[in-house]
Amino acid sequence: MHPVSIVLGKEIRDAARDRRALLTAFLFPVLSPLLVYFMMTAIIELQTDADKMTIPIIGGEHAPALIQWLKEQDVHLEKFSGDAKQAVKDKDKELVVIIPDDFQQRFGELKTVPVEVVSDGSRTDSQPKVRRVHELLRQYNQEIGALRLIARGVSPDVTRVVVSQHVDVASKEQRAATALNFIPMYIILAAFVAGMGIAVDSTAGERERKTLEPLFINPVERYQIVTGKWLAATLFSAIGMALTLVLCVAAMGQVPLAQIGLQFHIGNGQMLSMLLATLPLAFLATSMQLLLGIFAKSFKDAQSYIGLLVLLPMAPSMYMMFNPFMTREWMFAIPMLGQHLLLVDVLGAKEVPLIGYFYSAASCLLLGMALVLITARLFQRESILSG
């Protein structure tokens, strides 16, 4: 047997018996799809809620025509009495519409009537409803305004200087993919989370339990020992990623995306592409953790360093969410960003250039190998055994 496979076999056996490490490794892949499912379902519910909603209204009796019009738009109205602002503040009501007593009078005199929409700007969940109410009132305003102009022999177009028209070039799948931006993020995160326990245990843990000295007395090169540990951690990391991916996609299949006009379908081919696109990241993630594990004096010490490392994979995803940009081929070569781009493209059913797969895999593997060599060099220092 080759020394690398001996070390690999031992580390896998050791890790498979470490319940705590297994739990932290695989809790994330199991929990993240659940999170995806509940988040997406909640978002969709909010949006569909806004379409068939009930509006609390004060003074509805002063504007029967408006009330009638709103009912025609499929809006349910409920009479509200009391302090509107307090009710919204107390979160009893998401919003309250107040129609003034002199609505009819001002309407008849062709004066502008102020209709108040009381809402709480700090509540994100009520925003779609508030927007919809404003939109409805604007629409009513336009209709009545147009009628008044026509009655005076003026074309309503006089007041409509420009009309904006919505032209969306994104396909339904692509729009779905932007909504799913966090799936790539979870998968990239899984690479770091799932391999962490074993990477730390086989470096800082060995050091803490004083097993490094007996291990180094064996006639085996240090780089072979590190490589065995690297591959073992990578295996766990890759399993974590694959699990996260498969479960997230399965969870997305259960989300009623069609209700918000989005489409989501992942075939086996796409699934395979995504695995190919992301698995090389496992090699890089664990090599970083091994290197940090060497620097740490103890398991706890290492965990706090590596906890910070987890923020790293979030960076490209976060950046893309707030600064969308055009993908260029060289971007695939940037670890983590490359995987993110590949995932977004595959999820969006876009054609991915083959070179993209090559760049992203090669950069991860090369960088990972470089870090493992550095780790092996550090393993060779005499001071590794002291303190």
Partner 1 sequence: MIEVKSLYKSFAEIKAVKDVSFTANNGQVTGLLGPNGAGKSTTLRILYGLLTQDSGSALVDDIDIKSDRLGAQQKIGVLPDSHGLYIRLTAREHIYYFGRLHKFDEDKLESQTNELIKLLDMQSIADRRVEGFSQGERMKVCLARSLVHNPPNVLLDEPTNGLDVMTTRTVREIIEELKTKNIAVLFSSHLMHEVSRLCDHIVIVSEGSIVASGTTDEIRAAAGEDNLEDAFVKLVEGGVN
Q: Report the interface residues with partner 1, using CB under 8 A.
A: 1, 3, 6-7, 10, 13-14, 17-18, 206, 209-214, 216-221, 382, 385
Minimum Å gap between C-beta 210 and partner 1 is 3
306-334: b (≥16 Cβ within 10 Å) or e: beeeeeebeebbeebeeeeeebeeebbbe
Nearest to partner 1 of 3, 100 (CB atom): 3
The smaller minimum CB distance to partner 1, of residues 10 and 175, is found at 10
From the list 29, 26, 27, 25, the residue with the least C-alpha distance to 250 is 29
**Residue among 16 and 370 whose Cβ is closer to partner 1:** 16
Residue 385: CB atoms within 10 Å: 11
Q: How far apart are CA 146 and CA 143, in angstroms?
A: 5
Question: 75: alpha, beta or left, given left = phi > 0 and alpha = psi -120 to 50?
Answer: beta
Q: Which is nearer to partner 1, 120 or 206 (CB)?
A: 206
Residue 28: CB minimum distance to partner 1, A: 22
Residue 100: HSE in the Cβ half-sphere, 13 Å Cα cutoff: 12
Least spacing, CB of residue 196 vs partner 1, in Å: 17
As measured in angstroms, the least distance from the Cβ of 289 to partner 1 is 19
Closest to partner 1 by CB, 8 or 274? 8
Give phi and psi for 78, each to the nearest 5: -130, 140
DSSP assignment of 1-30 equals --HHHHHHHHHHHHHHT-HHHHHHHHHHHH
Of 17 and 52, nearer to partner 1 (C-beta) is 17
**Count of all residues that appear for the chain in the document:** 387
Which residue's CB is nearer to partner 1, number 220 or number 260? 220
Q: CB of residue 346 vs partner 1: minimum separation in angstroms?
A: 39
Written as one letter, the residue type at 222 is R
Instruction: Report the nearest approach of partner 1 to the CB of residue 190 (Å).
Output: 24
Output the smallest distance, CB 290 to partner 1, in A: 17
We find the least distance from the C-beta atom of residue 198 to partner 1, in angstroms, to be: 12
Concatenating the DSSP letter of every residue in 298-334 gives: SHHHHHHHHHHHTHHHHHHHHHHHHS-----GGGGGS
Written as one string, the DSSP assignment of 203-227 is IIIHHHTT-HHHHHTSS--HHHHHH
Closer residue to partner 1 (CB): 9 or 261: 9
